[in-house]
């Protein structure tokens, strides 16, 4: 045998060992057994023990047997929520992940197979039909796993959830928050309303009702009312107490149903009110003068002494410890004409001390034209010829024990509060901005129809007057506007018509810059 033949045999031997480690030499490997499909006759691997090919199994075996092709979804058309059995109602948009999860939970028999994919098939939103395409895997026979897809159609059944049904019954609420403030105007509630709208604090309320001295908020759950109490504590000086009323009791199970009420009282001190502080409180506040003006109201009260520019803050708990009332409120302001202003040079923030000579507007042109020489904090705002609103202290009688403790000989005859701007009715109606309002209901105050109509008319006039006063405060106080959302008005402002108005308005009357206004459409897009 030649050397070439010996090397060739050696290579074949090594090749056989390298590819046949498990089965020995190459000539010992057995050929793979094949069988024919009993259905279509296609050759297939016989080692699996199957008698039918994969395609025939998919055509003849249904692994989705037992999974319904139709199901129902309960939907509340009032609150637009879906029922998640047994009693939970959830918010879910069409073709959202939340709705898809709810549809899969509602499908019986889905736990017998393995879910691979699920997706919505588009349907008309008003058709009350939701279609879902599912892809699952399952075992048709032993060692035979197949994958199939199918569609399920859900019928949306409109019904009413228990919360919405409860709103039409006598016991609609579980907890009520009654907010009261005993003042002759609604400026504080108007400001509070805008704060609630800005922070969306009324989102959980069932209804809001307007009463004589305040507002009532009704809630389905007590924790929603507690959130409102926390919001009020952070915005205005309040105190509250909680009460409960037994509605029903079951002596067999020992369960009872209660209604809870939070009675909230807002401090009767408002911005621009004239206040006499108790002697102990004035001493604790850095020996501030006892006769002061309220310059700001938040979760605390800020007072300013107009004769010295001394400013101090009083926390709500300190106020409720002494609980004093204002000496005079903004409804008692009268108009004064400024004759002369002599600044002293002392300034604190936006306030400038000045010696001001003024006279009552009602005395102008008459025989009695008494001038008053006072010291005021409005030196940076007032100029000779301007009008100002203030409290007339001379010969005034106040029903206050704290005022009687003061030395009346050293009290100024006039306390000026703010500059007065003359606005025409046309300018007031044609503002380029507006405010949002909360939807509330008015409670009937009296039962007699005649008295009701007369009192309702008076209440309406007073509400319009208070609202106009609040709008003017927003125009004059830029610090107050920072906490409120102002929106562009859709009215077309036209001041050329009817310029021959009987009221000559001030040219320097404050107006709100259009840059401070929001667009309602833009806000809706942002929220969405």
266-287 per-position pLDDT tens digit: 999 999 999 999 999 999 999 9
Tell me the two tokens of residue 236.
């205005």
Considering only the C-alpha atoms of the chain, give the largest distance between any 2 of them, rounded to a whole number of Å. 154
d(CA 278, CA 299): 20
- Provide mean pLDDT across the span 436-459: 61
The per-residue pLDDT for range 16-68, each reduced to its tens digit, is: 444 444 444 444 445 566 777 877 878 877 666 677 777 787 777 778 888 88
**Does residue 515 have a pLDDT over 80?**
no
Contacts of 472-477 with C-beta under 8 Å, sequence gap 24+, read 472/421, 472/423, 473/187, 473/271, 474/512, 475/509, 475/510, 475/511, 475/512, 476/418, 476/419, 476/421, 476/510
Strands (E), 46-113: 70-76, 81-84, 88-90
Q: Which of 55-64, 162-171, 220-229, 355-364 is the least confident region?
A: 162-171
**Does residue 227 have a pLDDT over 90?**
yes
**Does residue 429 have a pLDDT over 80?**
no
CA distances from 65 to 55, 108, 136, 459 (A): 18, 11, 12, 70
The per-residue pLDDT for range 301-331, each reduced to its tens digit, is: 999 999 999 999 999 999 999 999 999 999 8
d(CA 451, CA 10): 124
d(CA 296, CA 308): 17
- Look at residue 335 in the predicted model and tell me its pLDDT: 93
Could you tell me where the DSSP H helices lie in 20-78?
A: 54-60
DSSP classification of residue 60: H
Q: Which residues pair with 392 in a beta bridge?
A: 414
- Provide mean pLDDT across the span 375-381: 92
What are the two backbone dihedrals, phi and then psi, of residue 186, each rounded to the nearest 5 degrees?
Answer: -115, 20
Tell me the two tokens of residue 506.
């001030």
For the chain, give the mean pLDDT.
81
d(CA 229, CA 240): 8
- Look at residue 265 in the predicted model and tell me its pLDDT: 94
- Look at residue 445 in the predicted model and tell me its pLDDT: 40
Q: Which residues pair with 293 in a beta bridge?
A: 274, 304
| 338, 375 contact by CB (below 8 A) | no
Neighbouring C-beta atoms of residue 430, cutoff 10 Å = 15
Number of residues that make up the chain: 528
- Look at residue 16 in the predicted model and tell me its pLDDT: 45
- Look at residue 522 in the predicted model and tell me its pLDDT: 55
190 Cβ contact list (under 8 Å, min separation 6): 466, 467, 470
d(CA 447, CA 459): 15
- Look at residue 188 in the predicted model and tell me its pLDDT: 87
Q: What CA dihedral angle connects 384, 390, 395 and 397, to 10 degrees?
A: 180
- Provide mean pLDDT across the span 461-481: 86
- Provide mean pLDDT across the span 277-299: 92
**Does residue 386 have a pLDDT over 50?**
yes
**Does residue 502 have a pLDDT over 50?**
no
Tell me the two tokens of residue 148.
């199939």
146 Cβ contact list (under 8 Å, min separation 6): 54, 57, 58, 61, 63, 137, 138, 140
**Higher model confidence: residue 493 or residue 223?**
223
Residue 441 — pLDDT band, cuts 50, 70, 90?
low
- Look at residue 217 in the predicted model and tell me its pLDDT: 92
**Higher model confidence: residue 34 or residue 389?**
389
H/E segment holding residue 434: strand 433-434
Angle (CA) 505-506-511 rounded to 5° is: 105
Tell me the two tokens of residue 486.
């102002």
Domain locations along the chain: 64-163, 170-266, 273-419
Percent of the chain with pLDDT over 70: 83
**DSSP assignment string, 274-328:** EEE--HHHHHHTTS--SEEEEEEESSEEEEEETTTTEEEEEEHHHHHHH-PPPSB
Q: b/e per residue, 55-64, with b = 16+ CB within 10 A?
A: ebbbeebebb
Report how far apart the first and last C-alpha atoms of the chain are (Å, whole number): 92
- Look at residue 115 in the predicted model and tell me its pLDDT: 87
Burial class, 286, CB count within 10 angstroms (exposed 0-12 / middle 13-18 / buried 19+): exposed
d(CA 33, CA 490): 85
Strand 351-360's sheet: what is its strand order? 371-376, 351-360, 334-348, 387-392, 414-420
- Look at residue 170 in the predicted model and tell me its pLDDT: 63
- Look at residue 479 in the predicted model and tell me its pLDDT: 85
CA distances from 79 to 82, 228, 376 (A): 9, 21, 56
Tell me the two tokens of residue 367.
């025989």
Q: Is the pTM of this model over 0.75?
A: no
- Provide mean pLDDT across the span 457-484: 85
DSSP classification of residue 520: H
Percent of the chain with pLDDT over 90: 32
d(CA 279, CA 288): 10
- Look at residue 4 in the predicted model and tell me its pLDDT: 43
**Torsion over CA: 467, 469, 470, 475 (sign):** positive
**Higher model confidence: residue 70 or residue 9?**
70
Q: b/e per residue, 257-272, with b = 16+ CB within 10 A?
A: eeebbbebbbbbbbbb
- Look at residue 461 in the predicted model and tell me its pLDDT: 85
d(CA 173, CA 257): 12
**Higher model confidence: residue 306 or residue 438?**
306
């Amino acid at each position: 045998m030649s050397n070439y033949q010996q090397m060739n045999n050696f290579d074949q031997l090594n090749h056989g060992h390298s590819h046949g480690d498990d089965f020995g030499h190459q000539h010992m490997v057995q050929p793979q057994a094949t069988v024919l499909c009993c259905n279509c006759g296609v050759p297939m691997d016989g080692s699996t023990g199957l008698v039918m090919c994969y395609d025939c199994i998919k055509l003849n075996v249904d692994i989705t047997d037992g999974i319904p092709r139709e199901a129902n979804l309960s939907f509340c058309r009032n609150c637009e929520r879906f029922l998640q059995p047994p009693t939970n109602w959830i918010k879910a948009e069409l073709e959202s992940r939340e709705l898809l999860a709810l549809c899969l939970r509602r499908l019986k028999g889905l736990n017998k197979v393995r879910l691979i994919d699920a997706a919505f098939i588009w349907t008309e939103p008003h058709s009350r039909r939701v279609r879902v395409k599912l892809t699952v895997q399952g075992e048709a026979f032993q060692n035979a796993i197949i994958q199939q897809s199918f569609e399920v159609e859900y019928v949306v059944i409109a019904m009413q959830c228990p919360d919405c049904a409860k709103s039409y019954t006598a016991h609609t609420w579980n907890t009520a928050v009654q907010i009261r403030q005993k003042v002759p105007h609604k400026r504080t509630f108007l400001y509070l309303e805008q704060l609630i709208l800005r922070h969306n604090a009324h989102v959980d309320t069932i209804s809001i009702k307007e009463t004589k001295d305040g507002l009532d908020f009704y809630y389905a759950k007590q924790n929603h009312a507690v959130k409102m109490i926390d919001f009020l504590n952070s915005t205005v000086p309040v105190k509250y107490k909680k009460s409960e009323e037994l509605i029903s009791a079951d002596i067999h199970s020992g369960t009872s149903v209660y209604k809870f009420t939070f009675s909230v009282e807002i401090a009767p001190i408002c911005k621009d009110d004239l206040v006499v502080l108790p002697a102990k409180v004035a001493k604790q506040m850095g020996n501030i003068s006892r006769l002061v003006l309220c310059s700001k109201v938040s979760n605390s009260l800020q007072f300013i002494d107009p004769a010295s520019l001394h400013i101090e803050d009083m926390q709500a708990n300190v106020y409720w410890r002494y609980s004093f009332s204002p000496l005079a409120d903004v409804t008692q302001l009268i108009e004064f004409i400024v004759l002369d202003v002599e600044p002293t040079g002392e300034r604190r923030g936006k306030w400038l001390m000045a010696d001001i000579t003024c006279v009552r507007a009602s005395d102008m042109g008459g025989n009695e034209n008494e001038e008053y020489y006072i010291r005021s904090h409005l030196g940076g705002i007032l100029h000779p010829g301007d009008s100002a609103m203030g409290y007339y202290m001379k010969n005034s009688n106040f029903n206050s024990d704290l005022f009687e403790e003061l030395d009346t000989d050293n009290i100024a005859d006039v306390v000026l509060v703010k500059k007065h701007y003359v606005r025409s009715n046309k300018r007031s109606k044609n503002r380029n901005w507006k405010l949002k309002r909360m939807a509330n209901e008015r409670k009937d105050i009296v039962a007699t129809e005649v008295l009701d109509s007369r009192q309702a008319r008076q209440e309406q006039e007073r509400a319009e007057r208070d609202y106009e006063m609040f709008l003017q405060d927003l125009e004059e106080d830029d610090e107050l506007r920072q906490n409120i959302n102002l929106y562009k008005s859709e009215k077309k402002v036209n001041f050329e018509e009817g310029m021959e108005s009987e009221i000559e308005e001030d040219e320097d009357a404050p107006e709100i810059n259009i840059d401070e206004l929001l667009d309602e459409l833009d806000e809706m897009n942002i929220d969405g």
